[in-house]
Amino acid sequence: MITDPPILTIRRNFERPPARLVEGFRGVPTGYLVDAMRGRGCLDHSIKPLLPEKATILGVALTCHAGPADNLAVFGALEVAIKGDVIVACTDAFMRTSVTGDLLLGMAKNLGVTGFVTDGLVRDLTGLEAVGMPIYCAGLTANSPTRNGPGTVGMPIVIGDVTINPGDILVGDRDGVVVVPRIEAEAVLERLDGIKAAEHALEAKVQAGLGVPDFIRTVLDSNRTTYVD
């Protein structure tokens, strides 16, 4: 006989990165981070900042799986949240109801939560503007969820094709949200200096009039390119 799962499964104790490591990613463009992680790590293109004036996010992932049309797990995340966390709510990309509104996120802000990310929808735009928290989501709807569960907090989730573990570092700007795995964060941070230097060097060449870069010219002039004209 199949038994019903618990309505909430909460992992309260998971490893968070040190604050100095998180701060190392402040102000870093998401494109640089992706380049430092072999071209991957950004969440689905549909997940964008809700409020243009709040289009940056930085914090530690507090994951929850709410599932479709439910937000019990998001409420459960309040029990675990600490200052600097970003609540990340997986809805399985459900697009018929919201997963949160202004009151729930107001509670989260009171606990020190610095942002909210979801593959679903949110509601109460006017109230969310007053809360003033960075919110990345797939859109808006006034339809409300239930609080029935089942759901999880502090467990791995998948949004799009990106796995997010509790304790990962989230960095967001107008291009989207990038997930930096906690266990790779030190190495990614170390690679950023090289990425920044390369970007700045190429930017200077573009501003000076560069048309075709050398690395493309090499391909164009090799036997790997065939001209048919």
Q: How far apart are CA 121 and CA 144, in angstroms?
A: 10
Element (H, E) at 59: strand 57-65
Amino acid at 95: M
Evaluate whether 12 touches 79 at the Cβ level (below 8 Å). yes
- Residue 92 inside a domain? The answer is yes
- Residue 195 inside a domain? The answer is no
- Residue 165 inside a domain? The answer is yes
The CATH number covering residue 53 comes to 3.50.30.40
pLDDT for the residue 154: 98
Name the residue among 116, 69, 108, 111 with its Cα closest to residue 89. Answer: 116
Structure tokens at 194: 């090289």
Expressed as residue numbers, the domain containing 76 is: 8-182
| Burial class of 25 by CB neighbour count within 10 A (0 to 12, 13 to 18, 19+) | buried
Number of domains in the chain: 1
Q: Are strands 169-173 and 176-180 parallel, antiparallel or unpaired?
A: antiparallel
pLDDT for the residue 215: 87
- Residue 12 inside a domain? The answer is yes
Evaluate whether 139 touches 119 at the Cβ level (below 8 Å). no
Amino acid at 140: L
Mean pLDDT by runs of 10 across the 229 residues of the chain is: 86 96 96 95 96 96 97 98 98 97 98 98 98 97 96 96 97 97 96 85 80 86 89
- Residue 210 inside a domain? The answer is no
- Residue 227 inside a domain? The answer is no
Structure tokens at 67: 């599932």
DSSP for residue 52: G
pLDDT for the residue 1: 56
- Residue 214 inside a domain? The answer is no
- Residue 222 inside a domain? The answer is no
